[in-house]
Structure 1
Amino acid sequence: MTHPRNFDDADPLLRRVRALALALPDAAEKISHGIPAFYTTKVFAYFGGSIKIDGEYHRHEHSILVLLDEEERTALTEDPRCYVPAYLGPSGWLGIDLTAETDWNEIAEFLDASYRLTAGPRRVARLDAR
């Protein structure tokens, strides 16, 4: 089944996320389920997500989904910008809304943390060597 494209390449938020994500060693981008996914051998971030409310999916088009360690994820679930995304939430992923005032240094840190959990030791070593 082909998923509809749920993003606009000209979106300035996507452009900022793309620049941060693709600056990580060996990072690439692909379209997965209609949204940009950033990966090495495994996906470390998505641009856009959704939540399920009363059986219906509600899109969060201007957000990122990242995989975080349990301690950091637990702390962020209290943050009003954050949500547990449909499908990926039970596996440790967290959505972060980018439509409010966004600290892009913090977003870069979230992308870095997610990358470190998925990229493997050689790529993480390359990142640390920068």
Structure 2
Amino acid sequence: MDHPQMFDGTDPYLRRVREICLALPGADEKVSHGRPTFFTSKVFVTYGGTVKGDVDPEPHRQSVIVLPDSAERPALLGDERFYDPAYLGPSGWVGLDLRACGSPEDVDWLEVSEIVDASYRLTAPKNLVRELDAR
């Protein structure tokens, strides 16, 4: 069964997320379950999500779902901009609602880059992490 597309290709938040993710060594993008995902050998960012029990994608349509260091997860979830995403939350992933961070011009894109970088480092092959560190 094909999933419907759950994103707008002209979304300015997605444009910035795409720039951040695709600048990482070996990163690529594909649509999975109707959402953009960014991966090397494993996914390191999913764009858009839902929370358990809520099938409406709108509340978190413009968010990034990342895998943080397990020690940082509780602090992130203590921040109202973050949420526990359906399906991936039990595996340690968290979502950052970009709209809760402000307009695309007001988002702290350095912060977004840092959480994307952390997720990448936990999921990417070691040779790609070494390549990133050599930059």
TM-score above 0.5 = yes
What is the Cα-based RMSD across aligned positions, in Å?
0.9
Aligned-partner Cα distance in 2 for 1:70–1:96 = 16
Find 2:126's aligned residue among 117, 121, 127.
121
Question: Is 1:110 aligned with 2:115?
Answer: yes
SS of 1:58's equivalent in the other structure is coil
Q: Runs of 5+ in structure 2 lacking a partner?
A: none
Runs of 4+ in 1 over 6 A off after TM superposition: none
Q: Give the share of equivalent positions with the same residue, in percent.
A: 57
Aligned-partner Cα distance in 1 for 2:7–2:37 = 11
Instruction: Give the aligned partner of residue 23 of structure 1.
Output: 23
Query: TM-score scaled to structure 1, two decimals?
Result: 0.95
Write 1 or 2 for the structure with the bigger share of strand.
1
Aligned-partner Cα distance in 2 for 1:103–1:56 = 27
The one-letter code matched in structure 2 to 1:56 is D
1:58 to partner: Cα distance? 3.3
The one-letter code matched in structure 1 to 2:73 is R
Aligned-partner Cα distance in 1 for 2:94–2:55 = 16
Query: TM-score scaled to structure 2, two decimals?
Result: 0.92
Aligned-partner Cα distance in 1 for 2:78–2:121 = 23
Aligned-partner Cα distance in 1 for 2:96–2:77 = 10
Q: Runs of 5+ in structure 1 lacking a partner?
A: none
